[in-house]
Amino acid sequence: MKIQYRLTLIYALLMGLLFNFIGYELYVNFEDYTEDEFYQRLGDRALTTAKIYFEPSVNALRRTEELHKSFQRNRLTDEIFEIYNDSMRVIYTSDSSVSPAFDTTIVRQTLLLGGMEHMAQDRQQYGLAYRVGAKKYAVMVSAHDKYGLSKLKKLREYYFIGMGASIVVMLALGWFFARQALAPIGRIVKTVRQINADNIGVRLPVGRYKDEIDELAMAFNDVLQELEIGYKQRRRFVQMASHELRTPLTAMISNLEVKLSRPRSAEVYEQTLRDTLADAYRMTELANGLLRLAQIEAEAANYNIEAETVEELIEKCRVHWTWEDAENISVKIDVSPKTRIKVKEGLLEIALNNLLANACKYGMGKPVTLSVREVGPNVHFDVKDKGIGVPETDLPCIFDPFYRAGNTTGIQGTGLGLALVKQIAVIHGGNVLATRNSDGVGMRFTLVLPAVGT
């Protein structure tokens, strides 16, 4: 059964029980009120009867006539009056054909207790003990509450009709409110069915109320965001790997096929092996770069975060300055000793060392400067060289994977170093910029990172 139908039934059941309880309590209270009100009327008539009958008068016949006149003015349905003395003998009755009309037990209890209320079938009986001098009399009144019972009957009819109508109304309202409440889930289901490998950028609709369903949609959107990133990373990795590895493999295969097409000298075979080994080294370098790029993308959230000072970061970088011309690097630090940077487990070392290694490789043996300075809430790491630089036309694409400037022909490289630097900078909430030096010679790469304290 759908949630909408279950909610409808539960809502109708609970509201039906509530209305049934309220209606039942109202009926019972009205029934008690009707009964008590009729007993009160009987008590008033019993007291009136006693006063008229026992008040001093010279004519007993006159008293009887006054009683009959009083009964006729306010007569109740099937009303009977009787007066008993303390010997349980009837001394007055309004209807001799049914006298005695009251059970002697009821009369005796009236005399003993001073009063009595009793229900006999559909008649209500009321007894009043009335004292005249030393004698005590029981004034008994009995009647049928025709109008009260008629009201109760009509009330019962209204009660059952109202219950039936309320159940129908509650079912309709429950269905309406359940449908309205679950409408966002229906929209979510409809949207989820549209998500596939070719349409992974779809996001679930989020309402303006920010309720539990909206929170679920937002959480699901976060998961979809992660899945989209992972899917794009995998697709980009496959595309880059297939594109970049195809070239050296093709070169190796072509070279080997040509050399094996006819017998060659030992020197030619030796040179072929050297060329193949060089291509294998380049493939290894490409594969390692691709794997490192993919690994950083996939595990960016899992790296341990530590706060380090600039001096600590530079010292960790120095350990890996083993490439050619690394002795040409000079370091200038102009930041407060208290300034710290959040570092993700060695990633910033990789970024800085990639920038410095490129500066040394393309600097043609000339000095390389690493300057560190504070600019507002950020720390800038400026790497300057006096090398061949990057043409203006190539600057917009210099951080794209596998992109190499047009003036780097003949210099070994994979085009992944700067792409890796860019990715690491973004992971740390920073950026990397590339500009030509003001004198037009060489390049300046600036790694911008947010500081966490000064």
Tens of pLDDT, residue by residue over 83-104, are 999 888 998 888 778 788 888 8
What digits encode the pLDDT tens for the residues 195-224?
A: 776 777 788 788 777 777 778 888 888 888
Domain 304-453 architecture: 2-Layer Sandwich (3.30)
Q: What angle do CA 81, 85, 90 make, to 5 degrees?
A: 50
φ, ψ dihedrals at 437, nearest 5°: -65, 155
Show the tokens assigned to 134: 């030393």
Q: Which of 148, 134, 13 is nearest to 85 (CA)?
A: 134
25-29, 69-73, 411-415: least confident range: 69-73
Residues of the chain with CATH 3.30.565.10: 304-453
CATH 1.10.287.130 holds for 212-298? yes
Share of the chain above pLDDT 70, in %: 84
Residues of the chain with CATH 3.30.450.20: 3-151
CATH class of 3-151: alpha beta
* pLDDT(317) > 60: yes
> Which pTM does this prediction carry?
0.46
Mean pLDDT value of segment 167-177: 83
User: Which residues have CB under 8 Å from 201's CB, separation 6+?
Assistant: 228
Residues of the chain with CATH 1.10.287.130: 212-298
User: Which residues have CB under 8 Å from 215's CB, separation 6+?
Assistant: none
Most confident by average pLDDT, 215-229, 247-261, 336-350, 369-383: 369-383
